[in-house]
Amino acid sequence: MIIDEVTITVEAGAGGDGCLSFRREKYVPRGGPDGGNGGKGGDIFLESRTDVNTLVDFLYRPIYKAHHGGHGKGKNQHGKDAEAITIRVPIGTLVWNENQELVVDMKENGMKFLIAKGGRGGRGNTTFATSTQQAPRLAERGEPGEIKTLRLELRLLADVGIVGFPNAGKSTLLSRVTHAHPKIADYPFTTLEPQLGVVKLSENRSFVLADVPGLIDGASQGKGLGVRFLRHLERTKILLHLIDLSTLESYPELTKRIKTIQKELKQHSVKFQKIPQLIILTKTDSAANKEFPKWMNRLKTKKIKTMSVSAVTGQGLNQLLEETWSLLSETKKKEIAEKSLKPKKVVYETQIRFQVKKDDKLFYVTGTEIKKWVAMTNFGSRDALERFQKIMQRMGVVRELKNQGVSEGDTVVCDGQELTFRSEELGVENDF
């Protein structure tokens, strides 16, 4: 299996800061607050596309940054929202986070996934005015955007699989139509593990072909090697079923061989019944019985698509690739039509709100939300500090601190910001 891998960093934009300002007009003493809100920071999306085939571009451009939101201004002017950016990835890209957890499998065409969320704009002081607090000296800073380091892994999914008995000429076919160099020999079980190659018909017409070890009667019960690798073919869209003419004497033998392989596939997984199959008679140059064109006609009357090739003379190879391509395009179109009926998914991750840990005399409060509120608070302002405390209370941080035995004067470190646990002095109703 060809696996392509890159590491990238995505940095969503921070929200713009909210503005702290008061109206100043002639003859209007003590004008009210008029600080506008900051704009939203830019989000970063991943989108799976059929027109992107590799991860190579990411090697040259591993960092993606969205813009920050504009800052709020006086006269209630809000900052501008930053535009989202979309990173295009090939279909079949797996996205892993720093903890090696799978974030998303971009396996469907046109799937859009919010990978890094832009920060919310900070609120200006106008927002904080209430009937009791008419001149708030409080404005939020913008929320930082999410920053993530991601590992993208492309599992090149094979579009077309080759199946058949050992020695049918599977690897030879792969070597003739792609740049792959599989081992080829005139004894069974030459191929020991799956081989992939890319067939390029023209600039925009290419597909991935997979060759797996040969199957034998009883393979689904574990005989031979082939069955171990059949799972690699489960996601293919078309199967080329190869049959060796050089050892084929009669029509009944042909149908028997076809049925044997089809039975093995079906017993391995019912999924194979839905995958269209092309029957390919191989080694026409050394066919044991020259009557095979008649057999092909008989199969055609049963609506079984049959072709013949010789990897030695090259006979039939082009027709085979063209036929495979048109069948493949048809199958893909059908799939896309079925899928586009469903709404596109945008998935959000859920996170633990906060964590409190006691270490000696210090209490450490961490978590994404805590990080956010610390970044958004201007600790130099008494009003802002008071608000921060209220938020900690609402989130249940205070309750948890108390559970862990916090007392007056203890130091609480919120995401690197040192604060003193004190109640009355700050005049907050309940303790911090």
Ligand X SMILES: Nc1nc2c(ncn2[C@@H]2O[C@H](COP(=O)(O)OP(=O)(O)OP(=O)(O)O)[C@@H](O)[C@H]2O)c(=O)[nH]1
In whole angstroms, give the CA distance from residue 201 to residue 212.
22
Q: Which of 9, 134, 149, 286 touches ligand X (CB under 6 A)? A: 286
In whole angstroms, give the CA distance from residue 111 to residue 83.
19
Residue 283 binds which entry of ligand X, Mg ion, none, CB below 5-8 Å type-dependent: ligand X
Residue with the two structure tokens 């048809």? 330
Q: Which stretch binds ligand X (CB under 6 A): 160-168, 201-209, 287-295, 356-364?
A: 160-168
Q: Which of 73, 120, 268, 283 touches ligand X (CB under 6 A)? A: 283
Q: Are 383 and 370 in contact (CB under 8 A)?
A: no
Amino acid symbol at 338: E
44-49 sheet: strands from edge to edge = 85-90, 44-49, 112-116
* Footprint on residues 58-117 left by ligand X (CB under 6 A): none
**Nearest by Cα to 214 from 196, 232, 188:** 188
Q: Which residues of 334-373 are buried (b: 16+ CB within 10 A; e: fewer)?
A: eeeeeeeeeeeeeeeeeeeebebeeeeeebbbbbebbbbb
Binding mask 204-243 for ligand X (x = CB under 6 A): ---------xx-----------------------------
- Select 310 or 377, whichever has its Cβ closest to ligand X: 310
Q: Which stretch binds Mg ion (CB under 5 A): 48-56, 85-93, 167-175, 360-368?
A: 167-175
Residue 15 binds which entry of Mg ion, ligand X, none, CB below 5-8 Å type-dependent: none
Sign of the Cα torsion 222, 158, 327, 334 reads positive
Q: Which stretch binds ligand X (CB under 6 A): 4-12, 257-265, 281-289, 415-423?
A: 281-289
Amino acid symbol at 210: A
Q: Are 193 and 171 in contact (CB under 8 A)?
A: no
Judged by DSSP in three states, 149 sits in strand
- Select 171 or 284, whichever has its Cβ closest to Mg ion: 171
CB 153 to ligand X: min, Å: 28
Label residue 413 exposed, middle or buried (CB < 10 Å: 0-12, 13-18, 19+): middle
* Residue 129 DSSP label: -
In whole angstroms, give the CA distance from residue 25 to residue 311.
89
Contact call for residue 317 and ligand X (CB under 6 A): no
CB 311 to ligand X: min, Å: 4
DSSP string for 252-281: HHHHHHHHHHHHHHHHH-GGGGGS-EEEEE
Contact call for residue 201 and ligand X (CB under 6 A): no
Contact call for residue 169 and ligand X (CB under 6 A): yes
- Select 84 or 162, whichever has its Cβ closest to Mg ion: 162
Residue 169 binds which entry of Mg ion, ligand X, none, CB below 5-8 Å type-dependent: ligand X
Q: Which residues of 29-46 are buried (b: 16+ CB within 10 A; e: fewer)?
A: eeeebbbbbbbbbbbbbb
- Select 93 or 167, whichever has its Cβ closest to Mg ion: 167
Q: Which of 67, 170, 237, 268 touches ligand X (CB under 6 A)? A: 170
Count of chain residues binding ligand X (CB under 6 A): 24
Judged by DSSP in three states, 325 sits in helix
Contact call for residue 190 and ligand X (CB under 6 A): yes
Contact call for residue 191 and ligand X (CB under 6 A): yes
CB 48 to Mg ion: min, Å: 32
Interface residues with Mg ion (CB under 5 A) are 170-171, 190-191
Q: Which residues bind ligand X (CB under 6 A)?
A: 164, 166-172, 184-186, 188-191, 213-214, 282-283, 285-286, 310-312
